Structure 1
Amino acid sequence: MMKIVSNKSAEGISMLALFLEVINYSVSVVHNLRHNNPLIAWAETLNLTFQNIVLMVLVMVYGKGNMLPGTVMFVAYAGMLFVMQDEQAFTSEYLSIAFAGGTMLTVAARGIQIAAIQSAGHAQNLSFATVALQFGGSVARVFTTIHEMPDDTDMLFAFGAASLLNGVILLQLIYFWNAKAPEVAAKDAEKKTQ
């Protein structure tokens, strides 16, 4: 977040990827609330939800283009939350289906982010620490799942896919380490000529 604000640019950050992650995390939060799971088990997911919402706002403020797509996403998200809080409209069966679909949302979100980084030709607005921690956390969850729930292939697949794609983003960050956004490179060149 600080990199986006200091660079005054959200280039290379995909609004759609953030939106898909917010939906996925929100479904997980609702799932945990409905099952009365202890907050300690899902507090990180709630925190990530809020962080991604702030990132979406920053992408709207510092991104190039109009704000309509982001505004539509926020309206859709508010509608989704309204429906999800109603247990009669969004039954446990629907919640289970949505929770299972989270893996596909994660894969889609990471795939979109990978494409956005590749298209931008830099990853200057991503935090190395955050990406490295996401990768490390998803790898740790793979091993925890193997150890604690060896028969839960759905969970293992979800964390395995997240690990793989987070690893690709980490490799992109390393590959594009010295690459800069075109406007930043132009400013740097201008400073050198002065």
Structure 2
Amino acid sequence: MRGLRKDKVNEDAEILREIYNDAWSDTWGNIPLTQDEVKSLLKALKPILRPEQYVLAEVAGEPAAIALVIPNMFDISGDLGGAPSPLGWLKLASRVMSHDFRSARVVLLGVRKKYLGTALRAMLPALIIDELMKRGHVLPYRSIELGWVLETHEGLRKLIERISPTPYKRHRMYEKLLVE
């Protein structure tokens, strides 16, 4: 397990993209991440991204699973209103620099498809979540949300339910053909 390498951010971002796209390629409604999207995401997140928020699990030296945790910007901007004053922008910058967040969300989590049907498929997400919990002394969050887990991903759902037994939100997606 390792975090983001500051000297190899672009390489780590590409690993994240490859694993995420591979892991989610057969999921209904998934749109693969492009290199440009990942570069843009990285640029936007640079002020709030810390090495501890990126977890890469390797198997035999090969990247196998990934997670990316993003802080909840509302924690530091909620009291500033929709159009902050110049003083509000200074407050926001100060809060970003001090990393004064209370909560975060796992926005990307994936395991390479080649591990489907193996014990590693179940173990890697558990190990990543365990690693995030171990990093709790470094990360300032009081809560981390694990969301957007498909109901068909029963193993991951059960793992999350063991950690936090009460889902507080449920989203549904439906498909309807508009033209035949």
TM over 0.5: no
Q: Which has the higher contact order (CA 8 A, sep 6+)?
A: 1
TM-score by length of 1: 0.30
Higher helix share: 1
TM-score by length of 2: 0.32
Higher strand share: 2
